[in-house]
Amino acid sequence: MVLEVRIRAVASDHPVRRAPSEFDEWGEISPEAKAMEILRWLIEAQISGAWLEVGNLSAHPVWYGPTESSKAMNIGIGILEEFRGQGIGGIAQRLLAEELHRNGYVRVEASTDITNFAEQRALHKAGFICEGTLRKAQGRADGLHDLQVWSHIS
């Protein structure tokens, strides 16, 4: 039984356990994207009295103008397969949005495939609002996909 969930910032090159999914089959990764500044957190849950790594979160900056107040953070999440469907994803994304708000970011956003209903549900439970569809925004191994964009505002 899951008792508690916490997130812990780690270095961007910290080894994380992979959480494979059909929405994570990229094909060739762009060198420019590899060079992008990405912040990372481990998600840990207290299960039967022990803290276990159950997934990870990331965040990268998105600029909507040349001013500090135009800088949003776009977050991503992966929960290890054996820990999905227990409410951890919703709690973890809420915790990260709150941490980023404390660090001064008003806009925290998440973009997810229009068919990723589990993530849409988790974002809703985390207090994010769906703002609309980004057409043909994400190229994966099998081609271009439409994304939904969600935001959590402080």
Ligand X SMILES: CC(C)(COP(=O)(O)OP(=O)(O)OC[C@H]1O[C@@H](n2cnc3c(N)ncnc32)[C@H](O)[C@@H]1OP(=O)(O)O)[C@@H](O)C(=O)NCCC(=O)NCCS
Give residues in contact with ligand X (CB under 6 A). Answer: 19, 21, 23, 76-79, 84-90, 112, 116-119, 121-122, 125
Give least dist CB 69 to ligand X, A.
Answer: 26
What are the structure tokens assigned to 147, written together? Answer: 């994304």
Rounded Cα distance between 122 and 29, Å, is: 27
Question: Least separation, in Å, of the C-beta of 117 and ligand X?
Answer: 3
For residue 148, the minimal CB distance to ligand X (Å) is: 9
Toward ligand X, which CB reaches closer, 109 or 119? 119
CB of 150 closer than 8 Å to CB of 133: no
Cβ proximity to ligand X: between 36 and 104 the closer is: 36
Residue closer to ligand X, measured from CB, 71 or 125 = 125
Residue whose beta carbon is closest to ligand X: 89
Q: Strand 129-140 relative to strand 107-113: parallel, antiparallel, unpaired?
A: unpaired
How far apart are CB 22 and ligand X at their closest, in Å? 8
Q: Using DSSP, state whether 105 is helix, strand or coil.
A: coil
Distance of alpha carbon 40 from alpha carbon 24, whole angstroms: 17
Pick between residue 61 and residue 85 the one whose CB is nearest to ligand X: 85
Dist. CA 18–CA 31, nearest whole Å: 20
